[in-house]
């Protein structure tokens, strides 16, 4: 899951919710994940400061990204709202790359190393997110 504090653009919740699936599709093509299919669902509140989360079904190359409607409302008027929302989606898509390795490791270690692995997993996902975001034109992805 990905959390982000602070940022601001004049978008409506309806426009964002209608556009996010297209944004994710374009990002999947950029990351060569086009064989994956998925859905976007919205929850009013997610735990803690979570903005989005992903559930991955590796067997069927399927994902579900859950986005916090509360966080959309919080950030939709920020000047860089499109960048913020795209950042969330890139982060969640990077879990498709990192999580299979993470879950193999978790299944083969003791409970004492679980929190350490979770921390390393999120660090790796965020590093990949930062790398990917450097070469993405926000307006090209948002159309």
- Which distant-in-sequence residues (6+ apart) come within 8 Å of 21 by Cβ? 39, 40
- pLDDT of residue 31 exceeding 50: yes
Strands of the sheet containing 2-3, edge to edge, are 2-3, 50-57, 62-68, 37-43
Question: Pairing state of beta strands 62-68 and 37-43?
Answer: parallel
Minimum mean pLDDT among 16-30, 47-61, 103-117: which range?
103-117
pLDDT of residue 5: 46
pLDDT of residue 23: 95
Q: pLDDT tens for residues 80-131? A: 999 999 999 999 999 999 998 888 777 777 666 677 778 888 888 998 999 9
Taken in order of first residue, the domains within the chain and their CATH numbers are 2-137 (3.40.390)
Query: Which residue spans within the chain are E strands per DSSP?
Result: 2-3, 37-43, 50-57, 62-68
20/30 Cα distance (integer angstroms): 15
pLDDT of residue 68: 96
Q: Which value, in Å, is the radius of gyration of the alpha carbons in the chain?
A: 15
125/143 Cα distance (integer angstroms): 26
Query: How confident is the prediction for the chain on average, in pLDDT?
Result: 87
Question: How many CB atoms sit inside 10 A of residue 14's CB?
Answer: 8
Minimum mean pLDDT among 3-7, 25-29, 32-36: which range?
3-7
pLDDT of residue 143: 80
40-54 mean pLDDT: 94
Question: How many CB atoms sit inside 10 A of residue 40's CB?
Answer: 17
pLDDT of residue 110: 65
pLDDT of residue 108: 73
Minimum mean pLDDT among 24-33, 37-46, 94-103, 108-117: which range?
108-117
Both tokens of 78, joined, read 């920020």
69-81 mean pLDDT: 93
């Amino acid at each position: 899951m990905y959390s982000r504090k602070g940022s601001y653009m004049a978008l409506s919740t309806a426009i964002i919710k209608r556009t996010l699936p297209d944004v994710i599709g374009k990002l999947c093509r950029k990351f060569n994940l086009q064989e994956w299919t998925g859905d976007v669902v919205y929850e009013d509140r997610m735990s803690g400061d979570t903005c989005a989360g992903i559930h991955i079904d590796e067997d069927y190359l399927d994902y579900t990204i859950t986005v916090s409607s509360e966080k959309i409302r919080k950030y939709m008027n920020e000047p860089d709202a499109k960048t913020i929302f795209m950042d969330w989606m890139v982060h969640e898509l990077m879990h498709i790359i990192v999580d299979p390795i993470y879950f193999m490791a978790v299944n083969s270690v003791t409970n004492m190393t679980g929190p350490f692995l979770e921390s390393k997993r999120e660090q790796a996902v965020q590093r990949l997110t930062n790398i990917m975001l450097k070469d993405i034109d926000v307006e090209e992805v948002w159309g």
